[in-house]
Every structure is written in structure tokens, then in C-alpha cells.
Amino acid sequence: METTSSLETPSSLAQRPLSAQDVRTLGLAALGGALEFYDFIIFVFFTAVIGELFFPADTPEWLRQLQAFGLFAAGYLVRPLGGIVMAHFGDRGGRKRMFALSVFMMAVPTLLIGSLPTYATAGYAAPLLLLLMRMLQGAAVGGEVPGAWVFVSEHVPERRVGLACGILTAGLTFGILLGSLMATAINLIYTPEQVRDFAWRIPFLVGGVFGFFAVYLRRWLAETPVFEQMRQRKALVEGLPLKEVLRGHGTGVVVSMLITWLLTAAIVVVILMTPTLMQKLHGIAPAVALRANSLATLSLTLGAVLFGLAVDRFGAGRALAAGSLLLSVTTYLLYVGVGTRPEHLVPLYLLAGLGAGVVGVVPSVMVRAFPAPVRFSGLSFSYNMAYALFGGVTPLVVTLMIQASPLAPAHYVAALGAVGLFVALYLLTAGRARFASMRAS
């Protein structure tokens, strides 16, 4: 039988209106999240030139790209470890410290990547140093995303947790858009030779500088009232928080991992893979596909906020059910519609991006899945393990499925939409009491 939270949030705190301090906290948290996610994702936009510069010139092209993508994937593989370690100290020593540390841990390696010597200068030390930097970035983002969700949810009134998590998620997705816009600008301003010579470094150097700016801004954030209350009442978890999570909160872990799987389908398939798939399946020009992707990512950012508002207004179960259906339908409309009418790519992709905004529901469910003493550890373990597992295999699964049908990406997303509906049904029935409030689990 699973334990329940020993923390009770006072009713007056839960029902108070959103204050100016809350808005400031949300703004600073979302800005820092956007900059940190930009730092993590910018690598993927320069994979080709990095593969060329950081490996021997006589390496076959396919192997060079495979090695470069392997470096990118290393960041994802380290996420669970970094997230678990940072969450441990976040539950034991405070949310704010880890929230600030994650940005610092991202800013330093990002700045260093922009300064690294290439293979021509340092030989095999170059790719090894780059691998180390990517591992540090992965550890940082593994703590940043769960930590940010916990931080903002414990700062705002309980009836505004959905909006807070939606805004924070929108900030993270906006970081993807910033990376895309920066890569587009670099390739428009500089020639391919200039990009290879020096311009590829600019996005990393800029990201590192802005990362330190985000560290400075987070100095002005206060510890969450929930954690301060636990510290005053001496209600902090004893021993290993993760051990308590695995021993007493299995339902929360399973639910959180399932909806994270839905999140990976929305982000990895709809946002990250679709531009390339549209070029391959329907002959869409790269520039057109990337422009449509930027608009879809902007639509996703808006959708995350709208779905966060829906959580506060209608409840997480109803918002998740509606969002899972919308994501499934709009993804089918995108892949079927572009197959017959390629000129409709932009409006259809905008709709699919809005459907992907269901990711704004995910954190509000997860922060309610675990009691406050182990909330950071429970959310971090579930989210990072699921993202590393499902996010890692999704491109391979979808690529293999395409051999059978050009609608395979839509089929995959719809299957995860069904998972989302299953979780929504649980939230509306058996999980109603457990996931209804942050005061108990």
C-alpha cells in the first residue's frame, strides 16, 4: 500500500490569487528554462559541421555522422543519472540550490564547446572533450526540467499549478525555437565555408553567455514555500528519497512514465522528426519544411500555456483526454493532408503543433503524483528514465514503421494518444483522489 504525503498546504495559501511575485518567479523560471534548453538543443542543428570538424578527415561520411549523432545522444543517456543526483539534493537541501546549479552546469560546457579545439588541432582529444561537454549538458538538463516544474508548482497557489507548469513547459519548447532560429540565421548570414571555419561556434558562445545571465537572474528567486514549510516542521525525507519513491509510490512512477512517453511522441515525432520526414516522404523543400517547423514550434509553445489553463479550469484528466485526442487527430491531418495537398503544410503543421501542446498537461499530473518530501526525486526519476528509454527508441521505431506505411508517424502518435486517454481515464476514476491535489498523494 502506498504512503501518503505528510505535508498539508494551508487552504489560504492554496486559494490565494496569483501575486506579482508569482508572475516574476514564473517569468524568470521560464526564461532560464528557454535559455538552458536552447543550450542543450543547439548541438543538433550543427551536427553535420561538428562531425566534419571533430573526426578524422578520412572517416566515411556515414560513420562521421553516426559518431556526431552519438555525441548528441550521449546527452540524453546521462540525463537520468544527472536528474536523480540533483533531485536527491533538491529533496534534502532545497529546490532553489539545484535550480540555480542546473543552469550553471549547462552554461559552462556550452561556452566551452564554442571554444574547443577541433580534430585538426587536438587530434582524438577533441571528440573526447566534446563528449565530456555533452555529458555535462545532459546531466544539467536532467535536473533542470523536473526541478523547474517542481519549483514553479510549489511557488504558486495550488489552483494555478496547471498554468505555472504550462508556462514553464512553453519556455522549454521556446528554447527549441530559439535554437532553430539561431541556426537559420547563422546559415543565412555566413557561407558554408565561414560556418565551418568559425561561425558554428557563435551559437554556443552566445548560449554560454546567456546561460550565465540566467544564473544571475535565478539569484533573485526564493526557496519554495512548500520546502521551507517542510524544513521548519522537520518533515524532510530521511535516507534516500529515491528509495522511498520506489518503495511507496509505484503508481505515481508508472503514471508519470506513461505520460512522459506521450510527451516524447509529441516532441520527438511531431516537432523534431517531421521536418526531415516531410522532405523524405513528400519532397518538401528543406527551407519550407524548416519554416513550417518553426511556426509549429511557436504553436506548441502557445498550446502548452492553453492546456495548462485547461488543467486549472477543467482538471488534468479532462485536459489530458482532450489533448490526447487533438494530438492524434491533428497528426493524422498533417500526414494525410500533406500527402495529397503539400501546399497545406503550414496550416496543418500549425494545428499539429497546437495538438502537441498537450505536453503542458504532463508536469501538472507528475507534481501531484508524489508527496512533497520526495516530489523532486519521484518526478525526476520517472521523467528522465522514460525520456531516455522512449525518446531514444522513438526515431528507430518510427523509421522502421515507415517501411510499411508513410502514415507510420501518425500511427505511432495515435498509439501514444491512446495511452494518454488511458491515463486520463485513470485520473478521472481511480486516481481522482490521489492526483487531485498537491497536498496529498
- C-alpha cell read off for 90: 533538491
Residue 121 CB contacts under 8 Å (≥ 6 apart), including other chains? none
Q: Do 19-236 and 243-441 agree at the fold level?
A: yes
In whole angstroms, what is the distance from residue 56 CA to residue 67 CA?
A: 11
What residue segments make up the domains of the chain, in order of their start?
A: 19-236, 243-441
- Pair 353, 298: CB distance under 8 Å: yes
Backbone angles phi, psi at 218, to 5 degrees: -75, -10
Q: Assign a CATH topology to domain 19-236.
A: Growth Hormone; Chain: A; (1.20.1250)
Listed in sequence order, the residues at least 6 apart from 330 whose beta carbon sits closer than 8 Å to its beta carbon are: 348, 351, 352, 354, 355
Chain centroid to Cα 72, Å, comes to 15
For domain 243-441, say whether CATH 1.10.3720.10 is its number: no
Please state, in angstroms and rounded to a whole number, the distance separating the CA atoms of residues 134 and 106: 9
CA distance 355 to 349: 10
Written as tens digits, the pLDDT of the chain (441 aa) is 343 333 334 444 556 677 788 888 888 888 888 988 898 888 878 877 888 898 887 777 767 666 766 776 777 778 888 888 999 888 888 888 887 888 899 999 999 999 999 999 999 899 999 999 988 988 888 888 898 999 999 989 888 999 999 999 999 999 989 988 898 889 889 998 999 999 999 999 999 998 888 888 888 888 888 888 888 887 787 778 888 899 989 999 999 999 999 999 999 899 988 988 898 888 888 888 888 999 999 999 999 999 999 999 999 999 999 999 999 999 999 999 998 999 999 999 999 999 999 999 999 999 999 998 999 999 999 999 998 888 878 887 888 898 899 999 999 999 999 999 999 999 999 877 777 666 543
DSSP for 46-91, written as a single string = THHHHHHHSS-TTS-HHHHHHHHHHHHHHHHHHHHHHHHHHHHHHH
The model's pTM:
0.86
Which residue, 56, 306, 10, is CA-closest to 167? 306
